[in-house]
Amino acid sequence: MIPVTRPYLPDREKLQCYIDGIYARQYLTNNGPLVQELTRRLENYLGVENLLLVSNGTLALQIAYRALGISGQAHGERVEAITTPFSFAATASSLKWEGVEPVFGDIDPDTWCLDPASIEPALTTCTRAIVPVHVFGNACEVEAIEAIARRHRLKVIYDGAHAFGVTYRDRSLLVHGDATTLSFHATKLFHTVEGGAIIFKHKEDLERAALLINFGISGPDKIDTLGINAKMNEFQAAMGLCVLDEIEANLKEREAIWRLYAYALGNHYQMQRLNSHSRYNYAYFPVACRDEKELLREVDRLARAEIQVRRYFYPSLDQVQAFSDRKTHSISDDLARRVMCLPVYQGLDAGIVLQQLSSISEVA
């Protein structure tokens, strides 16, 4: 069976050395030395400042909303944020969980990211933020989005779950917005088994968020604010440090697979147009079929060949009752019915996947 992804597992002996250190120190959580080391190393590797490690990527979004003052829980009135319907459920569910109504724009038909032209028509007096997604690691039109935010005095929180290591105009993409969040889930390019991070523009927002992830506690006998437990622990950080040591080799192998797919399949499927000012991280290889019928046929044939692909993202979030603003966004809905991600991971024999896809295209 070829899975759509496989977690990257680093050198076991090196991981064991970190674990031995944890046992020797008996310091398991609460901003331990490995969490501090991983914070420093990630800031250096990514070229960012004000990075806060957290226990998962969904809490990263929720803490960012709280730290930036847009959570509806703190306002006692309706609060809205403009976001994309073509994303993982956590983008919308994290907003709803924080009392913020997701109001969906539509996506660009080529880049598959939030279309800046769809933002201003969706604004109301209740809008407090824009939450775009760097979909599959493809950089949004950050200048256009942030110009809109400045005109309307809105916060911008990027969901960068897929954007680890992506650069834009020779700088980290993650420095844009008031905050950008990352997911370090086991399936991601860089992972800590579970985990995530927030990169803040301003240090004072980082300091506020650091209180929030530790119950609002600022000292042994002092509670400054309402908080929650969203801390990363030492075992997560140990995995992250080991994965980071080997990230370049992992990236190189993923890029080779991605380019092999692109060369072989570029004329058969619609592919995402990547931002020309950005350096991609080759974390995903999504393709769009002509229609949903073709997609379902190909998914079924690949499954019978024991090759797993994923309808990612499906459904379009504006079609989900729990999130919906009761409007259909035609470009997102159409794409979600046609798109699938092919397997990409270290150690994959992409030739087996291509052989099956070639036989499908011959039948079609």
- Give yes or no for a contact between 167 and 46, defined as CB atoms under 8 angstroms apart: no
> Measuring CA to CA, which residue among 25, 12, 9, 4 is closest to residue 234?
25
Residues carrying an active site annotation: 188
- Give yes or no for a contact between 29 and 233, defined as CB atoms under 8 angstroms apart: yes
Residue-by-residue DSSP string for 60-111 = HHHHHHHHTT--GGGTSS-EEEEE-SSS-HHHHHHHHHTTEEEEE--B-TTT
Tell me how far apart the alpha carbons of residues 49 and 35 are, in angstroms, rounded to a whole number. 15
Q: Alpha carbon of 78 to those of 52, 122, 170, 226: distances in Å?
A: 28, 15, 39, 20
> Measuring CA to CA, which residue among 184, 238, 253, 213 is closest to residue 46?
184
Pairing of strands 339-342, 217-219: unpaired
> Measuring CA to CA, which residue among 332, 263, 265, 342 is closest to residue 310?
342
